[in-house]
Structure formats: structure tokens, C-alpha cells
Structure 1
Amino acid sequence: MSVVALLSVAPVIEDSMASEVAAAVEALDAFDVAYETNPMGTVIEADDIDTLLAAVGAAHEAVDADRVSTLLKIDDKRAQDRRAREKVDAVERKLGRPAKRER
């Protein structure tokens, strides 16, 4: 089984959030998960929901702020074992090109 999630963890502050976001991303390294950070969050892939939730909890706790905002969206497709990259590949096949464009 593969569980894919979109995670966004950020301190509620006016200044740059980069160092605290980096701490959250770095916390994921302690877990058996794959991840990719993008401008809107971090996509995480784990073999099971328990591992995913433990990693998310650690990322949330890693942010040192008086107030932390965490958004989590989970795709737990239980009938099939599909990896995150396969989802992107399927969209790219339909597009007939990479699902990315530079400005």
C-alpha cells in the first residue's frame, strides 16, 4: 500500500517562514517516507498511514512558534498500490507532455 499526502506546516508570523519550514521538512528525514517540497507544501509518500501520520506529527512539532498552522490532505487508495509518481505520469500521458511549464 502507498499513502500520499500534501502537507503544509508554517508558523503564523509576519517574517520569513523559511527556517521553520526547513525544520519541518528536516523532521521528515527521521521517518521511512519519500517527500518533495514545492512552493505550496510538501508531498509525502509512505507505505502506511501510521508512518505518514508519525512523520506529519514530527514536522508539526518541529516548528518553533507560538502558533503553527498545519494543513494535511491524504490520498489513501486502498484497492491499489500506486506511487505518487504514477499519478503524475498518468496526467502527463493524457497531456502528451510534462505537467510543468516555466514562465
Structure 2
Amino acid sequence: MKAAAPRDIAVFTALALVVLASLPLALVTAGSARAGRPVLVLAGPLAGGAPAVITRAGGVEVGPTVAPLGRIAVLPDIALARREGAWIIVDAAALATLCGP
């Protein structure tokens, strides 16, 4: 197998940094989460993952797609979900506007 050229490595690294740098900006501009509305819940494995946090907070998962660290859910109490171990909770509708038309 041929080794990657230094230029290819530099381009890949630059693209990876742009993607990683844009994630916090997207989350900050997504809007604040509100109880009773769809939200994106991100939680780590030490908290049992997003499904466990959602269940302990009395929420309900919505949507057909699941991700390893996050789920779309409706929560009755945002603060309780944070206390139960959610890393990030953002308004799902506002986040969806960042993903396309």
C-alpha cells in the first residue's frame, strides 16, 4: 500500500479541523431547549447513554433514527435531564434548520 503524501495528510487534517470547529458553533446557534418540545440529547456511556438519561428524566424518544451518543426526545424537565447526566440538550427544530432546507 502506498503511503499518503504530506499534502494529502495536511488537506485531510484541515478538513477535519473545520468540521470539528463547526460543531460547537452549530450547537450554540441551535437555540435553547424547552420542555415538551423535541430536543437532541447527548450523553456519555458513564450516564448509561442518551436512552437511559431520557428514561430517568421521564422523557420519550421520538424519531426512527438512533445514534450512539444522542437521541431525539421530548423531555418534561430539561434541568432534570442535565442532572441525570446529559452532556448537551439542544432544540431539535432549530438544529434541523442547520442541516438543510
Larger Rg: 2
More strand by share: 1
Q: Which TM-score band (shorter chain)? A: 0.3 to 0.5
Structure with bigger RCO (C-alpha 8 Å, 6+ apart): 1
The TM-score with structure 1 as length reference comes to 0.38
More helix by share: 2
The TM-score with structure 2 as length reference comes to 0.38
